[in-house]
Amino acid sequence: MSTKEDTVRNAHSRRRNLLYLIHCYLVDHGYCNSAKLLRSEARLSDDQELCDNIDLDSIYLEYSSFHHLKFGKYPKVLRKTKPTIKIDSHQMKKCSKIIRPIQSPPPKSPSAEPVNNLQIVVKHLDTGGEKGEEFEGVGNAATLKEIEAGVGTIKNELLGNPDWQVLVELVKTTILTEDLKLSWNDMCGNSDAITTLKEAVETPIKYPELFVDGMKPWKSALLYGPPGSGKTFLAKILYSETRQDVTFFNVSSSVLISKWRGESEKILKVLFYVARTHAPSILFFDEIEGITSKRDRPGDHESTKRFKNELLQLLDGIEQYREGTFILASTNLPWDIDEAFLRRFEKKLLVQLPNPEERSTLINKFLPGTLKISEFELESLVNLTEHFTGDELRLACKEVAMQNLRQMTAPNEFEKVPLENAFKKIKPLSLRTMGKHLHWQQHNGT
**Rounded Cα–Cα distance for residues 320 and 312 (Å):** 14
The model's pTM: 0.64
Buried b (16+ CB within 10 A) or exposed e, 144-162: eeeeeeeeeeeeeebeebe
Residue 98 Cα to chain centre, angstroms: 55
160 CB-near residues (< 8 Å, 6+ apart): 30
**pLDDT tens sequence across 342-394:** 999 999 999 999 999 999 999 999 988 888 888 998 999 999 999 999 999 99
* 202: Cα within 13 Å, side-chain hemisphere: 15
Distance CA 317, CA 82 (A): 29
Q: What is residue 120's predicted lDDT score, i.e. its pLDDT?
A: 42
**Non-local CB neighbours of 382 within 8 Å, separated by 6+ positions:** 356, 359, 360, 363
Ramachandran quadrant class, 136 (left: phi over 0; alpha: psi -120 to 50; beta: rest): beta
For residue 268, what are the contacts with CB-CB under 8 A and spacing of at least 6? 256, 307, 310, 311, 314
Strand partners for 330? 223
The dihedral built from the CA positions of residue 72, 77, 78 and 79, taken in this order, carries a sign that is: positive
Q: Between the CA of residue 43 and those of 15, 34, 251, what are the distances in Å?
A: 12, 14, 42
> Mind listing the pLDDT tens digit of every residue in the chain (446 residues)?
456 666 666 777 888 888 888 988 888 888 888 988 888 888 888 888 888 678 787 787 777 766 666 566 778 778 777 665 555 555 555 444 444 444 445 554 444 444 444 444 444 434 334 433 333 333 333 333 332 232 233 234 455 566 678 888 889 999 999 988 899 999 988 999 999 999 999 999 999 888 888 788 999 999 999 998 999 999 999 999 999 999 999 998 888 887 777 788 889 989 998 998 898 999 999 999 988 988 777 666 777 888 888 899 888 877 666 668 999 999 999 999 999 999 999 999 999 999 999 999 999 999 888 888 889 989 999 999 999 999 999 999 998 888 888 888 877 777 777 788 888 888 888 888 888 999 999 888 77
CA distance 368 to 337: 40
Single out the residue of 326, 322, 392 nearest to residue 354, CA to CA.
392
